[in-house]
Structure 1
Amino acid sequence: MMRFDWRPFLERWSVEWADAYDPERDGHRGGEECAAARWLGRQAADTAGIAAAETRLGVALPPSLRSFLAVTDGWHNAGTFVWRLAGCADLEWCGDPHGMREIWLDGTGDDADEDLVRMAGTWSRSLQLAVESDMVDVLLDPGDVDARGEWAVYTWAPWRASPPERHPSFRHFMEDMYRQFHAMASDRPGFSNDTTRVLDERVEGARLAALRGEYEAAREALCDAVAFGRPRASRLRDQIDALCGTATGAEAGGSLADPYIAHEAVPLSCRAQPPYGMHREESLTQQYAEADRPAVAETLRAIEEGTFRYRAEGVFGAAVQTARALARRAEPEAAWRALAASVHAWTPRSADHIAPVGLLADPYLGPVLTPERGRLLLSTPRGPGATGPAPQPLGAAPADGLGWLADESRHGFRIVLIADVELSEVPRLLGVDDTTAVQPALTVGEAWQAQPGGEPWEARTVVRFGAAGEGWVFAHCGRGTDATQERFHSPAVQASRGTRAVTVTYEPQGGTGGTDDTATFHLSYAEKGEPRFGVTSRGDSRKATGVIPAALAPVALFRGRTVPEGLRGALDSIASYFGVTVSQEAVCHGRLDGVETRSWLREPAPGEGWAYWTRT
């Protein structure tokens, strides 16, 4: 096993610390003497001193600590919050003087898991390395030993409000404290040395690698620079992580004079959740200069209302507009292909901009950029002078049809299909009246939670709509209506004015809290405002009207099948017969425009009773 050479590492740390020494920040920790000596350590411990400490403690110290003590018998300013580490004479068993074991296990009774019990015992079995600190324990744990005989080090402070942080060995702990020193000193004027210069060169190399599409190698280099607190590194890494789906990319604060802040970071910060208990607008805008706050607030409102639009320049900017229109039509695969074909032509807004992360804040395009597609985008050479192929789609375009609705039918669904109309006609054909307003960029959950108006006897709903293949549009809601009700009224009749329309509904429990045997399925078809045929199935009961095509007859749809099989088979048959397809990705994961429909129940006739219930 190669022994770590402590001397050059500790000397470099000491010199860099002394050069960054600030009496107001560091003087109260014996810093003046350390700065003058340009050495944070002490005299080396001899072999006899180390052996005496081991005899006193009754254990052999782990290798990296023994070799450290042979260079310096203790250490000052290990990071920012540990002011003095123990030498041979100061090493003591912690002994859990503050009852941390009981605090960690309080209230768990016999339910505490093995990991929690082990963690709670860390204080009672470990050596305490922190002699002076800002309420920080540095615990060398003989109960966590690796194959090399190294003991793990755990650091814990009550003001962190988090579990102890594990370092695999004493050497790892010291290297982490060296990074912490750099991170905390990075904002000091003139803080520059050989370490920072090497790291900054790596950051620039990572930026160029990311633009070449080598994002994984770039991220690895950036993570190391982030740990050292190097400027630029966090912004560059966060762009990669945002498109990979592992971070938000939010970077609250800064000046809107920086185009990256204004057009990329602010929208992403507006999209992120505010700290718990904080007012969203206030918690965000207070991080910006007074003059910038109105613009930030306006972006936040656009994000919340679903009206924010990401914009870019040139060829890629045109592709963004095309892709948004396609995503809004419920064609996410086509939207992605439009973006992918032009990613190479994207241009950065500033020197530290490596990808169009602001797309994630666009209500229509954000859902299109899945982590898989984000990684494909990152792997594409882009920016001025970029060369290389466009990212390939993730396999063949999905053949959605309608059968997938059977997999999303736990709460039922309603879907209306209308032929030969533009999407803009959907509010007129299905809405409460001809002036029904479009609700932009709704998720399936937001449409579900919407509270439609109307009379108590009505069954209005909010549907989201989009394209359903060549010549068709759809309107979908992820909850069903029991079509066996006497007053059920298919919206296909009014929606078919001047064209053709189809209604399909599924209610898994028939509205009565029963089992799958009481599930209700309904299909109806209308032309030019007149009903042509319909079929309603509930359990073994079938009701049909009009002349039903053989391919859609109840027997053909459900014979010899379980309810789930019958539902999928019926949906596949409808999709095939009418030539329609609805994107599962768009409906389940995208944002689509919505509209409040007319009631799916007709008005009660004179003397006709009715009942209603409210959803909570």
Structure 2
Amino acid sequence: MNDASFNWPDFLGRWQQEWVPRDDEDDDDDGAGTPVRLGAPGAGEGAIAAAEARLGKRLPPSYREFLAVSDGWNVDQMAGVYRLGGVADIGWFQDPYDLAQLYEENLDEDPREEDVLLAGMWRRALQLETESDASYALLDPGDRGRDGEWALYVYKGWSGEFPERYESFRAYMEAMYRGFHGRRAGMPDFVNATTRTQDARVEEARLLALRGRYEEALPLLEEALSFGRPRSADLLNQLRHLTAPGGDRDYGLLVADPRCLPELLPLHAMEPARRGGDDHWLGMMAARGVARDTAEAALRAMRDGSHRYEPPGAWGRAVSRARDSARWGETDAAWRVLREALPGWEAPGPSLIAPVGLLADPVLGQLVTPERGREILATPRAGESGPAPGPVPDLDPPGLAWLTGPETRRPPFDGYRCVWVEGADPTLLPALLGEEDATLSVPVDQRMVPWRMPKDDGWAPPQPWEDRGVASVGRTAGAWSFAFDGHPQFLNDRFVSPAAPASASGRAAVLWRDPDHPAPGGRLTFHLSVAERGQELYAFTVRGTEIQRSGAIPEALDPERLFRPEDPAPDNELRALEALHTELGLALPRFALTRGRLSTFTPRSWTRAPREGESYAYLRMVRHRH
């Protein structure tokens, strides 16, 4: 810290001049109308030197300079330290409560430097406060910066918390000054040069953010927030929300503003929709001015997945097109639609600077990664101009090779099976692959699919020999629709490929890769079948080194070439998946299947019923309560 440019007389004089009582305190200290005096006449150099001689140490620079201007100060905290003493009052703390021993006992075998400093601070510290509520302001000569400053710790003995550390006495006083402002920010008559300066910076930050210069806006808003300035928290929350999209943000009273409610209320409803606590949340929204029926509708839509982010204008039309792509797994295409339309986004009100409502959309919200959130913020919008940011790279790799990556093995997938149907709309797959009246669900978070039970869709419950699963539905850029199951059972001898019935109007391909064998180095089981116009063209099944084949298999897909006994199973699998992408154009969207939302349905069993004379065994696990 460089204190050479810091003017203590100006700083303390401004604080004194701006002082007004809080709403909960009187405006004078003696009942006679005398304004509260925060400080005291400065201590002379002789008095400061005498105190240093008594203490046996030279005081740190910023504290020494402060004492020369004001010999003590009323820091005006509502809880904590009330007043700092002068040179005659300060003395060594001497750890009267044996706190050093308590903190030393909690040090581990390889403690951090800051933990060691804190443990020793109690015996070294200089005590500054003279009035407090069992709180202490402690300067630590053992925690010293290169500039000679001592760290200051504030310990609130009643709080049960660790002490709060400030880099120096000056840093502590600046924080107390900001707190003084923050405690009065809601008072309509609290207006002065500092509040006007901070409010101007909030407006400057708002315009910077709309011009895509959010990194310049952040420090302005953070400083304004430390002074408690109106709107600073709302604007800052939007920037932080988009740079860390997975977190929750509280937009306070702004949620009830009719201009902002469609963007913000669904965001607020996300947490209670997941975890419950409806009555508490509804009461909180009512206290902020949101009608109960409006809040209930938002909560219900978030919980059942029916919420749709529907802003007006050209941006809203782009959002609708993007959702149609994303709901079928084409998330990169969806993001490109949003990216192109983003400059045309219009702010519904002066306190909104970004389309944060996008985060609450069940389908599109998943697309906003931290990198994409920063891309939104770096894009000029709402009529403001500036340079456009470079596009964030697409998230989906081409083809199928990603299925062999370590991130796809337990979790999220333990084996996989998939049907691709060429030229078919994804909405037709339940009719092609499911029982009569099978329907698609609303888009489902794919991370929850392993815990979804197969649905009977109005038909008979599954038989013990059936292998019904939950298939996620989408489409790829190559005009293939797919139904993917990332948690299949093991392929058995009664397997019947659904490729032929799925290919009534074109080609269909079926792929099955067994879950990893429980034994180390277990064999790879891999099946492919391709059909067209209701007829199977070719198929093969690989079980370890055994290969079964039928039909005229293209040379590029010859299992003898793809599955080599001398190669590890992962290499063989990767080679086969790459060949399927090259030869047939098969692909799957990694992002949608691992982090997005897709509709699901329960397909027919791919295992046929046992014939007369055939037997089978199954294991059923039942949980009993005791």
Instruction: State the TM-score, normalized to the length of structure 2.
Output: 0.89
- Are residues 1:61 and 2:59 paired? yes
Which digits, 9 at most, give the CA deviation of each residue in 1:331-372, with x for residues without a partner?
112111111212121111111111111001111111222222
Q: Which amino acid aligns with 1:287?
A: M
What is aligned with 2:296? 297
Which of 543, 547, 558 aligns to 1:553? It is 558
Match of 1:288 in 2: 285
The answer to whether the aligner puts 1:329 opposite 2:335 as a matched pair is: no
The alpha carbon displacement at 1:74 in A equals 1.4
Letter in 1 for 2:580: I
Aligned to 1:597: 603
- In the other structure, the counterpart of 1:39 is 37
Question: Where does the alignment leave 5 or more consecutive residues of structure 1 unmatched?
Answer: none
Cα deviation for residue 57 of structure 1 reads 2.4
* Superposition deviation, residue 213 in structure 1: 1.6
Query: Counterparts in 2 of 1:263-282, with a 5 A limit?
Result: 263-272=262-271, 279-282=276-279
Q: Deviation at 1:531?
A: 3.9
For residues 246 and 184 of structure 2, what CA distance do their matches in structure 1 show?
25
- Alpha-carbon distance in 2 for matches of 1:104, 1:294: 52
Instruction: Establish whether residue 574 from structure 1 lines up as the match of residue 573 from structure 2.
Output: no
> Match of 2:365, SS?
coil
1:269-323 per-position Cα deviation (integer Å, ceiling 9, x unaligned): 2224799xx8432332221227622322321222222221111111111111111
Q: Contact 1:251 / 1:266 at 8 angstroms: preserved in 2?
A: no
Deviates further, 593-602 or 102-111: 102-111
Per-residue deviation, 1:585: 2.2
TM-aligned CA distance change 1:77 to 1:391, over 3 Å: closer
Contact 1:367 1:590 in 2 (8 A): yes
Give the conservation status (yes or no) of the 8 Å contact 1:507–1:521: yes
Task: Report the Cα offset of residue 534 of structure 1.
Answer: 2.6
Partner Cα distance (2:138, 2:364) in 1: 48
2:16 corresponds to: 14
CA distances 1:414-466 after superposition (whole Å, capped 9, x unpaired): 222111210111222233x2323422222221112212253444332222221
- The separation in 1 between residues aligned to 2:33 and 2:486, in whole angstroms, is 68
| Higher alpha-carbon deviation: 321-330 or 129-138 | 129-138
Partners in 2 of 1:44 and 1:219 — Cα distance?
A: 38
2:419 to 413, 416, 419: 416
CA distance in 1, matches of 2:52, 2:404: 69
Distance 1:603 1:106 in 2: 67
In 1, Cα distance between equivalents of 2:307 and 2:124: 56
For these two proteins, the number of residue pairs brought into alignment is 605
CA–CA distance in structure 2, aligned partners of residues 444 and 581 of structure 1:
18
Question: How far off is 1:149 after superposition?
Answer: 0.5
Partner SS state of residue 401, structure 1: coil
Match of 2:507 in 1: 500
Any gaps of 5 or more consecutive residues in structure 2? 456-461
Give the 3-state SS of the residue equivalent to 1:42 in structure 2.
Answer: strand
Report the counterpart of residue 100 of structure 1 in structure 2: 99
The answer to whether the 8 Å contact 2:18/2:192 transfers is: yes
Aligned match of 2:351: 352
C-alpha distance after superposition, 1:182-212 (max 9, x if no partner): 1121112322111101111111111112112
1:538 aligns with 543
Bigger shift: 526-535 or 204-213? 526-535
SS of the aligned residue for 1:473 comes to: strand
TM alignment of 1:481-492, pairs within 5 A: 481-483=489-491, 485-492=492-499
Question: Equivalent residue for 2:459?
Answer: none
SS class of match (2:454): coil
Distance in 1 between the 2:388 and 2:358 partners?
A: 18
TM-aligned CA distance change 1:466 to 1:54, over 3 Å: same
Identity of aligned residues (%): 39
For 1:12, the aligned partner's letter is R
Aligned partners of 1:20 and 1:188 also within 8 Å = no
Q: 1:154 to 1:104 in 2, by over 3 A?
A: same
Instruction: Give the alignment's TM-score, normalised by structure 1.
Output: 0.90
Mark the CA change 1:109 to 1:446 in structure 2 (over 3 Å): closer, same or farther.
Answer: same
Give the stretch that moved more between structures: 242-251 or 281-290.
242-251
Q: Distance in 1 between matches of 2:32 and 2:511?
A: 79
> Which 4+ runs in 1 deviate beyond 6 A?
none
Question: Which whole-Å CA distance do the structure 1 matches of 2:505 and 2:622 have between them?
Answer: 35
Please provide the CA RMSD for this pair. 2.9
1:25 equivalent in structure 2 = 25
Cα 1:71/1:378, change in 2 over 3 Å: same
The residue aligned with 1:365 is 364
Determine the C-alpha separation between the residues in 2 that align with 1:232 and 1:339. 27
